[in-house]
Structure 1
Amino acid sequence: MSDAKRTPLYDFNVAHGGRMVDFAGWEMPVQYASIVEEHKATRAAAGLFDVSHMGEATLEGPDAESFLNSVLTNDVSGMDDGKALYSLMCHPNGGVVDDLLVYRKREGSYLLCLNASNVDKDIAWLETESKGFDVSLVDVSDSYALLALQGPKSFQILGAISSVDLSGLDYYRFVEGEIAGVACIISRTGYTGEVGVELFVASERGEELAETLLEAGLPHGLVLAGLGARDSLRLEAGYSLYGHEIDDVVGPVEANLMWTVSLKKEGDFIGKAAILSKKQNGPEKKIVFFKTGGRRIARPGTDIVISGQKVGTVVSGTFSPILNEAIGAALVDASAAKSDELAVELRGKSYPVARTRPPFLPLNPQA
C-alpha cells in the first residue's frame, strides 16, 4: 500500500486497532475488531466510520443551479438552503458517471460529495460539461475529514456535545455548528439505513473530533466500524454502490433508481433521452436483490442461473449478521428478473435464491 493515500484519521485508525486495506487507492480500516460485531452495534446502538476518502467539491456561481440540472438526473431547483439531495450523474448512454450528494448552502453555492474512486473522473467530467456556464468548480477534498455517526443512539451521543439543537434536523437536511467546539457541517444523511449524521470537518481537526465522539459514545455502546460493516449495512439497506449495482453502463432504469430521476424538470439533462427510451422500451438487464437461505456467500462475479443456464452475475454479496444468512444483488437478464427459479452457481452446484425487495429488514433512517 506504499502508493495508497491516507485520510486525516489514519493515525487514529491505526492507534485504535484498525486493520488497514487498500480501498480505491486509500489505506482504510476494513475492521477494528469484528465486522459482525461492528455491524450489530451500528444497528443496536451506534457505529463511527471514517469516510474521509470520499471527495468534496464546491460549485458556485450565478449558473450553478442550471448547470447542476443539466448534469444531474434529479431536480435541484426545488432545494432550499440547508437541503441535501441524492442524485445520479449520467453519461449520454444512460449509464452512471457517479452517484453523489448535493448540499445547497445558499443560492448559487453548493457542496458536492463524490465517491472516492471517482473524484478525478467526476471533477474532469464536471469541468468539461461546465463550459458555457458561469460557475466555479473547486476540488476541496483535501480540506475535509468526513465522519459518519450511524445508529439509533446517534442523536443521544451528539446531544450533550453539540452547540446546536439537532432534535429538529430532518432527514436530508444539514446545519453548520460545533460538535465539542469543532466546527462541522452536520448532515442528516448516511449509508447504513439507520438514523445518523455525516460530519464534514476541517481535515486538521478530524482526529480530535473522532476521539471526542468515541469518548462520548462509549457509554451508549458506540463502536468504531470499518468498511466491512459499512458494506454489509448498506447492502441490508438495499443501497447501490458504484461499480457494483451501478456503473458506466448500468443506469437508473436497470438499478431501480428511477426515483432519483426527474423527467419533468425544466430543460434537458445528460442521459435523459437514453433513460426515457429504456423506461419506455424496457432495459436488457435488471438489478435484483436476493437472500440465499444459508450462510454461503455468493461473491461478486458468481453466475446466476435458471435450470443451469446463465442469466446474470452477482454484483454484491455479503453475510447479513441480522438475518444470519447471506444476501446479495445481481445483474440479470430482464426476462429473468421476476423469476422464482433463480439460483447461484457455486463450485459447480446450483443453490436456489429468493428474490427480495430491499431493504432486507425494517429500517427507518427518518425516525
Structure 2
Amino acid sequence: MRWHHNIDCSIKRPSPPKDTAAMIRSVRFNSTQAGLKKTALHDLHVELGGNMVPFAGYSMPVAYKGQSHIESHRWTRTHAGLFDVSHMLQSTLQGKDAVNFLHKVTPTDFQQLHPGVGTLSVLLNPNGGIVDDTLITKQSAHDFYMVTNAACAERDSQFLVDELKSVADAKWTPITDRSLLALQGPDAHRVLQHVLAWDQSLADLYFGQRRSYKLFNGAYIDVARSGYTGEDGFEVSIPNEDALQFAQSLLDNEMTKPIGLAARDSLRLEAGLCLYGHELDESITPVEAALSWVISKSRRNITEGVKFNGYDKIIDQINNKTHKSLRVGYRYQTKGPAARTGSKIFLPDGKTEVGHVTSGSASPSLDNINIGQGYVLKPHNKRGTNLLVQVRNKLLPIELVKMPFVPSNYYRG
C-alpha cells in the first residue's frame, strides 16, 4: 500500500523531501524563526473555541470553550472524541534492508508481522535506553509506516538518519503533507462508518490493523484501528487539503465532540500508557518500563543475525532480573492533592525513599480519585504494596495496583 494510492491525482501535492537532513534543518528553522507551526485544522480549533497553547513547536488546543476537561474526558469514554494529532511525526521506511534496520533499532520481530498490521515498539539507543516509543505498521515486506512523538520529532529524525548511515538499502522519509486525526470512544466506529462510501465497512478492521478506505466524497484515507485512550478508535492519516472537510463531517455527528490535549493526557493515564519524557527516556530500558512485551520472544535468544541495540543489557534484565526499579501504577487511599511528576515515594515509615512519580492526576472515570504512575525499587514494586507519596509537606497513603486503571475496550473481533 502506497501513501498516495487511489488519491485524486488532479490535486497537486508536494513531493517527499529528497534530502532528509535538509528537511530536519528546515523543520528546526521554521519552528524557531517563524513561530509556532500550525496544523491543517488550526483555524477550525480557533473557530470551535479552542484554548490554543504551545506544544512541541505547534499551536495546539488544550481544551475547548464550554467544555471542561472532565466533561471532555468522560465524553470520550462514553461517545466519540476527535483529537488533532497532526503534530506527531509520520514517516515511511522502505527498502530491502528495512526489516534488518528495524531489528537493530527496535526489539520487535517485524519479519513475522503480517502486512497491514501494526504494533507498538520502542527505538533503542546503544545502551538499550528508549529514544522514543513508536507505532510501526508493516505495509508490505519492505515497506513500513511509522508514527513517533511530536516532542521527539527532531531527536527521532536525527537518530534514524544516523543509524541508517551503515545500511545499504533502506530509506526513511518523513511525511509532511498529511494530517493525523484520532477518533476515540465507543461510538467512534459508528461515526467513522457514517462518512465512508456505501461499500466500505469497518467491521473486519481489528485492533492493530491498518488499511485504506474510500470516503463518501471519493477521497481516500488510511485508517489504523488504534489510539492512546484505551477505547476503541481510529487514527486516520489524510492529505492536508482534505483534512478540514473530513474533520467537519465527523463533528457534524452529534456523537462527536472535539477534544484537547488535557483530556488526551488523563485518558492515556487511566489506560496505563506511557508518556515520553515522563515514564520513558533514554536512561530507561523497556524492561524497567514494564514494556517487556515489545521484546518479541523470537528475539530473546539471538545467536546469529542482527541484535538490537542494548541487547546484552536488556536480555540480562529479562533473564537475571538485574534491573533495580520498575514502572508501577498507584491509586490514593485517601483524599488529597494529586502527586505530580518528581514527587517522592516512601516506605510506610515515611523515611526510606523507594521511588518517584512520573505522572499523576485525578481520574475522571473513577470518581476523581487520584491515580498515577512512577518507578519503585524492587522488592517494593509488587501490586498491593502500601507506600506513601510526598505532596508538598504531606505524606499521603497509596497502594500499588494493576494497570490499566480502567478496562480497555479495544476491538479485537
Common fold by TM > 0.5? yes
Count of matched residue pairs: 363
Task: Give the alignment partner of residue 225 of structure 2, picking from 179, 184, 188.
Answer: 188
1:4 pairs with 2:36: yes
**Among residues 14, 21, 25, which one is paired with 2:53 in the alignment?**
21
Quick one: distance in 2 between partners of 1:168 and 1:214? Answer: 24
Counterpart secondary structure, 1:232? helix
The Cα shift of 1:126 comes to 1.3
Contact 1:304–1:343 (CA<8 Å) still a contact in 2? yes
Of residues 85, 109, 119 in structure 1, which corresponds to 2:143?
A: 109
Q: Which residue of 2 aligns with 1:341?
A: 386
Query: What is the aligned partner in structure 2 of residue 207 from structure 1?
Result: 244
CA distance in 1, matches of 2:336, 2:60: 26
Q: CA deviation at 1:295?
A: 5.4
Task: Verify: 1:169 aligned to 2:201, yes or no.
Answer: no
**2:162, 2:258 → 1: CA distance?**
39
CA contact (8 A) 1:8 1:203 kept: yes
Q: 2:339 aligns with which of 298, 310, 321?
A: 298
> What residue identity is the alignment partner of 1:308?
G
Q: How far apart are residue 350 of structure 1 and its match?
A: 0.6
| 1:258 paired residue number | 292
Conserved? CA contact 2:178–2:240, under 8 Å: yes
Equivalent position amino acid for 1:29 in 2? P
Contact 1:76 1:85 in 2 (8 A): no
Q: In the aligned structure 1, how far is the partner of 2:163 from the partner of 2:171?
A: 12
Q: Is the contact between residue 101 and residue 167 of structure 2 (CA under 8 Å) also seen in structure 1?
A: no
* Residue identity matched to 1:291: R
The correspondence of residues 1-367 of structure 1 with structure 2, limited to 5 A, is 3-32=35-64, 33-130=67-164, 131-140=166-175, 142-163=176-197, 164-181=200-217, 182-215=219-252, 217-218=253-254, 220=255, 222-265=256-299, 267-279=306-318, 280-293=320-333, 294=335, 296-306=337-347, 307-309=349-351, 310-324=353-367, 325-338=369-382, 340-366=385-411
Aligned residues of 1:92 and 1:274 also touching (Cα < 8 A): no
1:85-127: CA deviation from partner (whole Å, max 9, x where unpaired): 2111111222101110112222211111011011121121112
Unaligned 5+ segments in structure 1 are: none
Letter in 2 for 1:304: I
Counterpart-to-counterpart distance in 2, 1:126 and 1:359: 31
Superposed displacement of residue 335, structure 1: 3.2
SS of the equivalent of 1:335 reads coil
Q: Which range is displaced more, 356-365 or 266-275?
A: 266-275
Q: Distance in 2 between matches of 1:38 and 1:87?
A: 29
Higher mean Cα deviation, 278-287 or 86-95? 278-287
Do 1:26 and 1:53's aligned partners in 2 also have CA atoms closer than 8 Å?
Answer: yes
Deviations 1:106-152, CA, capped at 9 Å, x for gaps: 22111110110111211211121122331111111x21211000001
Structure 2 counterpart SS, 1:5? coil
Once the 2 structures are TM-superposed, how far is the Cα of residue 27 of structure 1 from its aligned partner? Answer: 1.3
| Higher mean C-alpha displacement, 31-40 vs 340-349 | 340-349
Aligned counterparts of 1:330 and 1:287: Cα–Cα separation in 2: 6
Distance 1:15 1:153 in 2: 24
Q: Please say if residues 180 and 212 of structure 1, whose CA atoms lie closer than 8 Å, have aligned partners that are also in contact.
A: no
Distance of 2:274 and 2:343 partners within structure 1: 18
Instruction: List 4+ stretches of structure 1 deviating above 4 A.
Output: none
Measure, in 1, the Cα distance between the counterparts of 2:61 and 2:189: 24
The one-letter code matched in structure 1 to 2:58 is: W
User: For the Cα contact (< 8 Å) 2:179–2:237, is it kept in 1?
Assistant: yes
- Structure 1 Cα separation of the partners of residues 385 and 96 of structure 2: 52
Q: 1:253 to 1:299 in 2, by over 3 A?
A: same
TM-score, normalisation: structure 2: 0.84
How far apart, in 1, do the equivalents of 2:250 and 2:242 lie? 12
**3-state SS of 1:353 partner:** strand
Aligned mates of 2:338, 2:257 — CA distance in 1? 25
TM-score, with length taken from structure 1: 0.95
Distance 2:36 2:355 in 1: 33
Moved more, 180-189 or 320-329: 180-189
CA distance in 2, matches of 1:315, 1:162: 40
Partners of 1:57 and 1:111 within 8 A in 2? yes
User: Identity over aligned residues, as a percent?
Assistant: 36
Q: Are the aligned partners of 2:386 and 2:400 in contact in 1 as well (CA < 8 Å)?
A: no
**Partners of 2:336 and 2:396 within 8 A in 1:** no
Name stretches of at least 5 consecutive residues in structure 2 with no aligned partner.
1-30, 300-304
Distance in 2, matches of 1:334 and 1:52, equals: 39
Q: 1:270 is aligned with what amino acid?
A: N
- Counterpart residue type for residue 97 of structure 1: V
